[in-house]
Structure 1
Amino acid sequence: MSVKDVKLERLSINGHICGEFVEFTLSESFKNNTGKTIDGEYVFPMPETAVLTGLEIRLGDRTLESVVEGKEDVENIFSEESFDGLNPLKLESYENNLYKLTIKDILPSELVKIKVSYMDHMIYEDDGYRLTLPKIINDDVMPNKFYFSIIVKSMVEMVIESPSHKIDIEREDETLCKITLEDTEVLDRDFVLDLTEKHPIEASGMYYTIDEEKEESILYLNILPKLDEEINDQGNNYTFILDKSNSMMGEKLEQGKNALQLCLRNLDDTDTFNIIAFDEEIIIFSEKGKVPYTQENLRKASEFINSLQPSSEEENLMEALKIALEEKNNEGISTILLFTDDNVEDEEEDQILDYVKNNIGDNRIFPFGMDTSVNSYFINKIAEYGYGKPEFIYYDEKIEDMVVRQFSRINSPQIDVLKIDWANLDVLRTYPRSIEYLYDREQFSIFALVKGSLEGNISIMGKVGDEDYKVTINMDSFDLEENVDLIRRAWGRMRIESISERMRGERGEVAESMKNKIIEISKEHKILSEETELLMVEGFQDPVLGATIKKAVPLIVDEEALKDLGSGYFIDSPRFLYDASKKANKKKSEIDSTKLVSREELLRIIARNQFAEGSFDNSEESTLYDRVENTCLALLSFGLGKEDLNLYNKQIDKGIRYVARTLTDVEELLDENLCILALSTFKALGKKGVLRNNTDQDIIEAIEIINNVIKYNEYTTLDGLTKLNRFDIITEIAIRTIVSEPIDQEQIMDKIKYNVKENIRDIARYAISKLI
């Protein structure tokens, strides 16, 4: 069928951004010009962390709208109603982040209008957010009419720019504006929008009133703590327990091993560690107990992890936990990280839980459930009795990212929240239900249903170690009039996630009650969840009653699509990066293999190759110059991108300290190349805001030495030196230098494919080249 046969008449994209939340509605109108009745297939994109909030289909004068119902209710409707003469609609997963809607019996000259809405959560990075929308329009499928607008309501004043398109910004005030494309612009390429805080602050908020008579409102607060690094001279003691039974075979075990490699590289030289692997038998890295964190022990531990292979179906988790809890430390307590997909029998499960409860002492256990079918009750209970926090690896999530994020929290300073002073407000409900911790440099949102006059200050008070912590948010200036529906849905979605997490630790009547509550909230806010399904309804005018009667229309949704459309988790990094115009029949095997390794995966590979001292390199025998140069390249691969660096904060900080202190101590290493690389590294990562206070001082000393070397050797003029200390100029020079040498992508892909880690330099350069 040619493009002329089915004409795209109209395309409309409407977006709403409120704080960190975003909702988009994509509306497209097509006309059947074939002269005959046809079946249509419509492909649309949706980020993997988004949730569907609406689907509407208009066929001529018929209008079908989606509603959300409990799974059992949908099953009853389809078993009781007759659908004779109605062709079912079909919605299925198509490719990564793409879905296909099949509509049968589209009449000649009939106009089909399709409207899809979804909501998602943006990640805060570099004092702001980046939003990327996919290319929607092909050169051969231009619509007769095109509309595009985004309403932005921010917490604070934002600098708004698009590096991809010419935009018009119509401001109503400092925090509210409307963004449109200039008349000549269309979405024939990805649309990128950068929103950067003009004056970043630690805490802000907004609210909207839902019932003026009752004085009921929803508060939305946002906090980003930036804490000074705690100096721990004593160090910490870690035991890593990895399940290597047959059920872990393949991707789960490989990702578990990779996660361990990254955890080890987040340790400090004052820490001690041990590794226990188990199936039917127990294998211990150090039979003599925990070892100090040195380069030699790191190398041996890496080799030990790489050698682990499954050898039995049986699991001996009890013995592994006994060894971990009975192992003595020279000083302090143990932090135990457990990675398992849990195939423990019910009887043994109770024995393990009893043992942990009675023997945990002052130690802590952080369990990771590495499968969607894992026994969540068991994992939750181990965390509860072990004074830790459970993590579950959901469908298609990267185990390494989840593990390292949690491990970073364990190791970073945190705020123990003692009290929230809500001024004169009566708090009816909050999400989260209780707030125990705030983590350093992690954005945290609080929703609250409150009653009363919204005036004065809200204060969050707690402790960072022995120090008092307090942050105050003024309520007098953040009334919300725009994007109210989006915040209502965000509030609903957060409640669903909160109840879902708690439900995994419950059984029986309590779990059933929680499930019913999830269904109730899903229906109220029209949000898909794990407990609900989509149902299409059509309204008919009854001539006798004079009223509109709604009738269900069959919609067949495949299991994968239903799971993806309803289970996006806001805690994950959103992925607005995909191309809706890709061909339907393009198979994965046809795609150039060099494109299959994302920048995110390249960064993981680089991170797994850090030495204990902080340098990134492939050999302990490299020259000092090569090691510093390779470390700069590795750090630049992190610093120049837009990825969430919270996972790698500790490693980046160690790497920067290594470069700064080495160049301060061994000034003769500095030639023109290393001066440029080091300056650009310091500037790029300093701009990211991920460095600690003591590291900043190291950088200041190193930059002073570099500037003196540049002046002494006349690498540039005084005016040039001033420019070299500007982020944009030094970064441009560094990138131009890095990519001036040929990059052999096939060779790099072979190294990755066969797990050969001989050239961190080229992998880092390849990661940087992907930004151009």
Structure 2
Amino acid sequence: MNKGLLDRDNPVSGLHPEDTEVTGRVCGAIAQIDIRQVYKNNSNNAIDAAYIFPVPDSALVTDFHASMGKAEVNGFVMEREEARQAYGKTAGATEGTLLPGEGRQDIPGVALGMIPPGERVCIHISYIQQLEYYGNQLRISVPALTAPDGYGILPEECSQSREENFSKTRLVIWMALHRRAVSFQSPSHAIKVDRPEEYKAVISLQGEYTGLDRDFVLLCTFREEESSRGTAYCTGSNGGTLYMTLVPWLPDAEGAGARDYIFLLDTSDTMTGQRLAMAKAAFNTMLRNLSEIDTFRIAAFGSDVHTFAGGSSLPYAQASLDRASRWISALTPEGRADMFKALRYALPPGNNGKSIIMLLTAGRIEDSDDLVNYVKHNIGKNRVHVFGADTRANLCMLKRIADVGRGSCQVLRQGESMEDGAIRMFCGITGTVAERVGLDWTGIEAEDVFVSGLINVRHLEPITVLARFPGPLEGKALLRGNTDGGIFHLALDASDIEQDNRWGFIEKIWAKKKIEHLEGVLAYTAPEKYERVREEIIRLSKNHNIPTAFTCFVAVKVVPDRLTGLPVPRMLPVFQPAGEVYNDGEGQGNKADDIERQSTGGKAEPLTRSEILRMLARNQQANGAFYAGTADSLLAKLNTTALALIAFTAVREGTNIYRRQLEKSVKYLIERVTNGRITPERRENTQTLLRTILALKLCLESGVIKQTEEEWVLRWIDDIREGAEASLALTGGQSELLDFLDGDIQWQCRHTIKGIAAINDSPSILKKRIALSACEGDAVPALARLGVLEALKR
């Protein structure tokens, strides 16, 4: 661990936190974290101390305070030239002092000076961070604040025992959410969750005192639904700052044209073990998202490029899917990744293709202008989308490739399954995209508006808006645009926006956005306006403690004069750490790797609902069916497919990434039931038809079925009802089908699902069948049944 209070001369020192308190406030996807720590010098010697800020890379420190005996240290922003002069005049000036902002706008830490033996140091640091939505999940992370043993690193001469020096930590995070949350989970710590209101939550560590010896990670999962919500930070009659989150549900096109896909899989030495196994699983699922009119190619690359089917572009069908699955399964790691060769294969010089290229790589590559320039000059009408399957991927280089490749780039996030991440990205790039999207203000006088996500608006991907308003908040905001499936619009009325004066950090994020905008246009500003823009940047910087190109974050130590007792200020130098107090060999921030090692470790993943859905998805047939083998009867195939659909849709959360696959399953069921003459007249068909109708009803209620196909599905259900009525008129008696179709039935009710699914096997028996299956494909019937039972638990 190379953060916190440490000795500049001797990293192995007696400085360690006695007490730590972390308080966080999250509004939408904006966070402010306050850290308060108490340290004590337990060594027998004075220590030349520096405090290295324990903050994420994307965070911005906005406040710093330290007290040591009678001395006080405060951090704030000054104009750069004023800071240079102040450092030169005060006794605190040192040779080679680094001013924050010289080559970087953040500040690594502050040199505090000498700490006598036995003296305590009290630290308060505050930072803000704009978090990212990843699909329907928000991730909040607080870096580790103690070494992994929980005590800090103690020298041999330390007089206190480790037990006496145990670091006490309290953590509480208050959340005001902009989306309806389904769950709060931490892959790193045991947590307690309080939900006082639907959009509010309080997260704390389980137990009052727990050592924060590793990154604290909180994953908040939201409902997959359209939503609009906002928060306004009000400053009296002078207006305030508005923050909105808009999540659009985009209508699908009635039919998409044929597409050609090129899948590139990194099989270099960096993709060994479980990482390659998960990448193969992701590829198998991505292939099953293709339609019968699509074509595809696959290539694996390490030191060389290996192509499937000789590099030919094959039509998507069951035969080509089976061949591709076997070829992917046989891939092994090979040498160093030569991404240049792989992209030359996908983008030969002078090509006139229009392919969607999906590149999955560990991403541990060096920067290369030659590679970027090659893609730029040969991209044509193709698009290159990149997924980095390693938390240590060279994100900058991957983004450069995606940018010139007219595509998108995502990397594996901590706590996320690689398979889920890759599939979510693939569904995003192949899903509905809105065009000519605009944000209109009706009655709201919005100024200095900054919108994220307005370009390439995609289905259920959040759009965030920050703006100033000068007076009362009245009227509404309207997001609207066009898709191939029609026009969409999403409104947020001012009366539904929560107004509160506790979220001042919203204004800081808005100020940061405006500063970045002004700095970006400064180079193109006319000379007569340059100074005015520069002054506005400095004003915002000082008001909100945000370092810029013209300002820097400085620290001033105030010590009472020994003779007069009057306060004497001294400028403190910024400290650039030269070494590490603690290094676990992997560095900080790789919790995802730790989780991966813990969750795999040579053992199979536990059969959670999420893992069951992944296994089903990667074993779906090309036509959308779920079954074990071609020898199954039509009724068996229909029953297994219906149960699989029920497993996916009985609980809505976590299924949106499989939407295209489920659409194919809906089509398969209706066509096969119709063409196979599975009619209500035959009693043995009743259970199959009921399961099929239940699956379709759940798909309708969960939004899986396209709006343009809802009428077709409902008409088919009416045809089954008419068939059941006709059969009843001939035979008399009672019809179980009509009892359900004409009764007051809640199709998403647990009792209804349990009754119609009628699964008599116990979970333990089903798990044994899955474990004894020769391959995952053979286990599909058991997986479908177990998936329904897991859904019923919820």
TM-score range, shorter chain: 0.5 to 0.7
Over 3 Å counting, the alpha-carbon distance change for 1:355 and 1:201 in structure 2 is closer
Contact 2:361 2:388 in 1 (8 A): yes
Aligned to 1:761: 781
Which of 192, 210, 232 aligns to 1:207? It is 232
Over 3 Å counting, the alpha-carbon distance change for 1:723 and 1:301 in structure 2 is same
Which of 99, 115, 135 aligns to 2:170? It is 115
Over 3 Å counting, the alpha-carbon distance change for 1:748 and 1:539 in structure 2 is farther
Which of 405, 426, 429 aligns to 1:407? It is 426
Shift, 1:266, TM fit = 0.7
Distance 1:661 1:280 in 2: 46
Shift, 1:607, TM fit = 0.7
RMSD over aligned CA atoms reads 6.2
Distance 2:268 2:585 in 1: 31
Distance 2:710 2:378 in 1: 43
2:494 is the alignment partner of 1:475: yes
Which of 644, 650, 656 aligns to 1:646? It is 656
Contact 1:55 1:117 in 2 (8 A): no
Letter in 1 for 2:314: V
2:280 is the alignment partner of 1:257: yes
Letter in 2 for 1:693: Q
2:305 is the alignment partner of 1:282: yes
Letter in 1 for 2:759: I
Shift, 1:252, TM fit = 2.9
Aligned to 1:659: 669
2:752 is the alignment partner of 1:727: no
Over 3 Å counting, the alpha-carbon distance change for 1:128 and 1:476 in structure 2 is same
Distance 2:237 2:656 in 1: 40
Over 3 Å counting, the alpha-carbon distance change for 1:475 and 1:493 in structure 2 is same
2:700 is the alignment partner of 1:686: yes
Contact 1:22 1:119 in 2 (8 A): no
Deviations 1:392-418 (A, max 9, x none): 224454222222112112222211244
Letter in 1 for 2:483: V
Contact 1:54 1:118 in 2 (8 A): no
Letter in 2 for 1:662: R
Letter in 2 for 1:747: K
2:728 is the alignment partner of 1:715: no
Distance 2:312 2:600 in 1: 50
Contact 2:241 2:469 in 1 (8 A): yes
Tell me the percent identity. Answer: 21
Aligned to 1:341: 362
Contact 1:16 1:150 in 2 (8 A): no
Contact 1:17 1:150 in 2 (8 A): no
Aligned to 2:268: 245
Secondary structure in 2 aligned to 1:612? Answer: coil
Deviations 1:330-380 (A, max 9, x none): xx721111122345565xx33322222222111111122333333333322
Distance 2:441 2:161 in 1: 56
Over 3 Å counting, the alpha-carbon distance change for 1:725 and 1:473 in structure 2 is closer
Shift, 1:302, TM fit = 1.1
Which of 713, 718, 721 aligns to 1:704? It is 718
Secondary structure in 2 aligned to 1:313? Answer: coil
Over 3 Å counting, the alpha-carbon distance change for 1:254 and 1:456 in structure 2 is same
Contact 1:431 1:494 in 2 (8 A): no
Deviations 1:641-695 (A, max 9, x none): 3632221111122222222332344335963432443343233333322321244
Over 3 Å counting, the alpha-carbon distance change for 1:344 and 1:742 in structure 2 is closer
Shift, 1:236, TM fit = 0.9
Which of 386, 403, 417 aligns to 1:398? It is 417
Over 3 Å counting, the alpha-carbon distance change for 1:53 and 1:657 in structure 2 is farther
Contact 2:267 2:331 in 1 (8 A): yes
Distance 2:34 2:787 in 1: 33
Distance 1:133 1:342 in 2: 26
TM-score by length of 2: 0.64
2:222 is the alignment partner of 1:222: no
Aligned to 1:363: 382
Q: Where does structure 1 lack aligned partners over 5 or more consecutive residues?
A: 1-11, 28-47, 139-146, 153-159, 161-174, 181-185, 188-192, 500-516, 527-537, 570-577, 579-586
Over 3 Å counting, the alpha-carbon distance change for 1:418 and 1:686 in structure 2 is closer
Alignment: residue pair count: 655
Distance 1:370 1:83 in 2: 48
Over 3 Å counting, the alpha-carbon distance change for 1:564 and 1:649 in structure 2 is farther
Distance 1:131 1:591 in 2: 25
Aligned to 1:144: none
Over 3 Å counting, the alpha-carbon distance change for 1:542 and 1:407 in structure 2 is farther
Over 3 Å counting, the alpha-carbon distance change for 1:442 and 1:705 in structure 2 is farther
Distance 1:406 1:52 in 2: 28
Shift, 1:265, TM fit = 0.8
Which of 342, 362, 379 aligns to 2:398? It is 379
Letter in 2 for 1:714: S
Distance 1:401 1:493 in 2: 33
Distance 1:73 1:93 in 2: 19
Shift, 1:489, TM fit = 8.4
Which of 293, 306, 309 aligns to 2:329? It is 306
Shift, 1:612, TM fit = 1.1
Q: Which moved more, 1:232-241 or 1:539-548?
A: 539-548
Letter in 2 for 1:301: A
Q: Which moved more, 1:366-375 or 1:538-547?
A: 538-547
Over 3 Å counting, the alpha-carbon distance change for 1:358 and 1:65 in structure 2 is same
Aligned to 2:687: 673
Over 3 Å counting, the alpha-carbon distance change for 1:716 and 1:475 in structure 2 is closer
Over 3 Å counting, the alpha-carbon distance change for 1:263 and 1:467 in structure 2 is same
Distance 2:752 2:471 in 1: 51
Distance 1:149 1:428 in 2: 36
Over 3 Å counting, the alpha-carbon distance change for 1:419 and 1:148 in structure 2 is closer
Aligned to 1:584: none
2:480 is the alignment partner of 1:455: no
Contact 2:508 2:544 in 1 (8 A): no
Letter in 1 for 2:270: S
Over 3 Å counting, the alpha-carbon distance change for 1:595 and 1:237 in structure 2 is closer
Contact 2:724 2:738 in 1 (8 A): no
Which of 755, 764, 771 aligns to 1:743? It is 764
After TM superposition, the structure 1 = structure 2 runs for residues 618-637 of structure 1, keeping only pairs within 5 Å, are 618-637=628-647
Shift, 1:238, TM fit = 0.8
2:438 is the alignment partner of 1:419: yes
Over 3 Å counting, the alpha-carbon distance change for 1:683 and 1:84 in structure 2 is farther
TM-score by length of 1: 0.66
Letter in 1 for 2:171: V
Secondary structure in 1 aligned to 2:500? Answer: coil
Aligned to 2:15: none
Secondary structure in 2 aligned to 1:678? Answer: helix
Over 3 Å counting, the alpha-carbon distance change for 1:410 and 1:323 in structure 2 is closer
Secondary structure in 1 aligned to 2:778? Answer: coil
Letter in 2 for 1:208: Y
After TM superposition, the structure 1 = structure 2 runs for residues 428-507 of structure 1, keeping only pairs within 5 Å, are 428=448, 430-432=450-452, 435-449=454-468, 451=470, 454-465=473-484, 469-481=488-500, 484=503
Distance 1:496 1:616 in 2: 54
Secondary structure in 1 aligned to 2:783? Answer: helix
Contact 1:92 1:100 in 2 (8 A): no
Distance 1:426 1:717 in 2: 56
Contact 2:478 2:491 in 1 (8 A): yes
Letter in 2 for 1:341: A
Secondary structure in 2 aligned to 1:622? Answer: coil
Q: Where does structure 2 lack aligned partners over 5 or more consecutive residues?
A: 1-20, 37-55, 77-99, 124-141, 155-159, 209-219, 519-536, 547-556
Contact 2:387 2:411 in 1 (8 A): yes
Distance 1:690 1:560 in 2: 45
Secondary structure in 1 aligned to 2:482? Answer: strand
Which of 89, 110, 115 aligns to 1:82? It is 115
Over 3 Å counting, the alpha-carbon distance change for 1:285 and 1:438 in structure 2 is same
Distance 1:340 1:421 in 2: 40
Distance 2:22 2:396 in 1: 43
Over 3 Å counting, the alpha-carbon distance change for 1:254 and 1:228 in structure 2 is same
